[in-house]
Structure 1
Amino acid sequence: MTAPTEPPVTPLRRPPVRQATLVRSDIDHTFEVFVAAIGAWWPVQPFSAGRDQVRDVTFEQRVGGRVYETWQDGTVAVWGELLIWEPPHRFAMTWTGTPAPTEVELTFTALGPALTRVAVEHRGWEALSEAQLAQDCALPGGYTGGAYRDGWATILARLAAAAEAPPS
């Protein structure tokens, strides 16, 4: 009698980009700063299509809603569409800032009354060719060079600073 054979395990070739940060703010405020005030803190230079032309960034806060930037001249550049909308705990969206659409999910976890863990997972890299994975994005190096890892770390740091800032 022969032992059943297990199917071969295929290693994940293109793992998701994962980053997280702690924000000294409650979960509701942290989520609100991310989605409602994103135009004020998001580093549009270099993390947007319009760069210096960006006037605002908008979340249409519902499944199927768009996330988009509006430029000074009224041009709209869509970042993606919301796939999951569960305020203040998480949202997921398509991400069209890559050569082929990928997916971004952010989770917000209350660790205390004024402490929130914000984590991002940027996945779906299988949709990109090897050449596209190596292309520069907002930062040099693309996916294979760690640019998305570094980019999301920068973005989360900006979120933390905005959410922790005292009200003006």
Structure 2
Amino acid sequence: MPAREPTTLAAPPVRQATTVRADVATTFDVFVREIGVWWPVEPFSAGGDRVRDVTLERRLGGTVVETWHDGTTRVWGELVAWDPPHGFTMSWLLTPEPTEVELRFRSLAAGLTRVSVEHRGWERMTEAQLGGACALPEGYRGGSYVRGWAVIFGRLVDHVESGLS
């Protein structure tokens, strides 16, 4: 019997969502303008405690960049779709191979917004890359990106809602 080629297991997108007690425009604006304040750079950045700021250029083709205390910069990605205040899509360069992050902001009611993410493109990676450590242990295969987006969204919710009190 001939040897079979190994089969790569499917690598579906990571999907996560949260609800923010604020209107869509406010939630979107805080996400993109204040990302350097609320984003948990430890552990979700290249520089960790060296990161001074994170900025998002609010335009199609704009970049998302972390800047370290010494002026070093690391590009996280480029905006490939820009639809304020409903969402944006960006390349994501902090993975072993480039992936894509789509964020959507949808009104559920007056003063209530659903923020959702679809982080996709995992099929570009090898099994070793999918199982390798990232900001959190166990990599994509171990659910670290699902847990990571939950932490990130938790920080967003806390920051937006604390600013409205």
TM-score normalised per structure 1: 0.91
Mapping of residues 138-149 of structure 1, within 5 Å: 138-149=135-146
Confirm whether residue 156 of structure 1 aligns to residue 153 of structure 2: yes
What residue is the counterpart of 1:50 in the other structure?
A: 47
Out of 59, 62, 65, which is 1:65 matched to?
Answer: 62
> Following superposition of structure 1 onto structure 2, how do residues 128-147 of structure 1 map, counting pairs within 5 Å?
128-147=125-144
Letter in 1 for 2:44: F
For residue 29 of structure 2, what is the aligned residue in structure 1? 32
C-alpha deviations, 1:111-164, integer Å up to 9, x for none?
112100000000000111000000000000000000000000100111011111
Q: Corresponding residue for 2:111? A: 114
3-state SS in 2 of match to 1:93: strand
Instruction: Give, in angstroms, the shift of residue 45 of structure 1.
Output: 0.4
Greater radius of gyration (CA): 1
Distance 1:121 1:166 in 2: 26
Q: Which runs of structure 1 show a deviation greater than 2 angstroms over 4 or more consecutive aligned residues?
A: none
Residue identity matched to 2:47? G
Q: How far did 1:166 drift?
A: 3.2
**Unaligned stretches of 5+ in structure 2?**
1-8
Gaps of 5+ in 1: 1-11
TM score, norm. by length of structure 2: 0.93
How many residue pairs get aligned? The number is: 157
Question: Which secondary structure state, in structure 2, belongs to the residue aligned with residue 140 of structure 1?
Answer: coil
Q: Deviations over 1:90-124 (max 9, x none)?
A: 10000000000000000000111210000000000
Percent sequence identity over aligned pairs: 62
